[in-house]
Amino acid sequence: MRKTRLIVSVTFVSYRRLERVHTEQEPNVYFEEFKRKLGEEKFVSVLQSHLIPPDEDSGIWDDDVVSGYKKFLEKRGSLLKEEFEGLLKTS
């Protein structure tokens, strides 16, 4: 199983947004660019709406992509789990 195919690494971002960000860059670089373009408050709001952890220890800011990705998968997996559990309780 390839790690890039895991559900926790999938997010829905509009093509219009992707046009503004150079996704061939390292995540910490393009997230910083995204944050600069949107401003801190809007950036955090967008990430949270996609259940992407914006905090410093989320993995998205790491220079080491491999260890950052592992942290990201763990933290986003927890956010997805919490969200699904919340949805199941309200059903």
Per-residue pLDDT of the chain (91 residues; tens, 9 = 90+): 455 566 666 665 554 555 555 557 888 998 998 899 999 999 999 999 999 999 999 999 999 999 999 999 999 999 999 999 999 987 6
State the number of CA atoms in the 13 A half-sphere of 16 facing the CB: 0
pTM: 0.74
Q: Do residues 58 and 44 lie in contact, with contact meaning Cβ atoms separated by under 8 Å?
A: no
Q: In the chain, how many domains are there?
A: 1
Q: What is the pLDDT of residue 15?
A: 47
- Distance, CA of 55 to CA of 11 (rounded, Å): 17
Q: What is the pLDDT of residue 30?
A: 86
Q: What is the pLDDT of residue 91?
A: 61
Q: What range does the domain containing 84 cover?
A: 3-90
